[in-house]
Amino acid sequence: MVADALWTLDELVQRVADVLDGAEYPGAPNGRVRDVPDRRAVRWYATIGLVDRPASVQGRTARYGMRHLLQLVAVKRRQAEGRTLAEIQAELTGATDATLRRIAALPAAPSAALPKEAPPAAPPKEAPPAAPPKEAPATRTRFWADRPTPAAATEPRPAMEPRAATDPPQPPELPETPETLTGVPLAGGALLLVPGRPGPADLTAIHAAAQPLLDLLAARGLLNDRSPR
């Protein structure tokens, strides 16, 4: 596997699981945080700015690259240390690849931490074309008495059978990655959507300014603690 390979969302989730499947990763400190992110968690991280947009979209299938892998592994490393999602967001939003690689603790050659893929199978060898059947020797006839009748003139041509209808191919799954908004997680499961990507100072100011609103929502019983991690 090369460093610039692109993966589907399912392949990206599997590679994150492969990297974290080691003795150096203790897993989540409590039952509220997943040890390995799933498809829903990856989309959530993209909503709050912890994961970039897909590297490319081929048809209707989103593709992800090595930076997305580094972002997801770095998030899980920090969660294993007991960091909150707000703290991780303040640290990793807009982080460089070098910073993400240091936190993710990947080796210098990140492909070495991933399972080797089997080389593509060689195409089956084509059988040599069969020799054309030998024609039977023509029978000599008397031109004044015997006249052979062409087979094409006597045998009716078979009727063409209609082709069986096939179902049209189903389109691949549409990517659900947001395009313009960034979510800022607040206490009690509240989420604030803002255009653009706030920095660490912006996040601190937003959390302070949102406290009166959170108090009002809590008083009315509109908060919960079920935001995905």
d(CA 55, CA 5): 10
Could you read off the pLDDT of 185-195 as tens digits, one per residue? 877 778 788 77
- pLDDT band with cut points at 50, 70 and 90 for residue 184: confident
Query: 84-101 pLDDT, tens per residue?
Result: 999 999 999 999 999 999
What pTM value is reported for the model?
A: 0.51
Q: Alpha-carbon dihedral of residues 219, 222, 226, 229, nearest 10 degrees? A: -90
Residues facing residue 58 across a β-bridge: 61
Report strand pairing: 181-185 vs 61-63: unpaired
In 68-190, the DSSP E strands lie at 181-185
Evaluate whether 33 touches 228 at the Cβ level (below 8 Å): no
For the chain, percent of residues with pLDDT exceeding 90: 29
Average pLDDT, the chain: 74
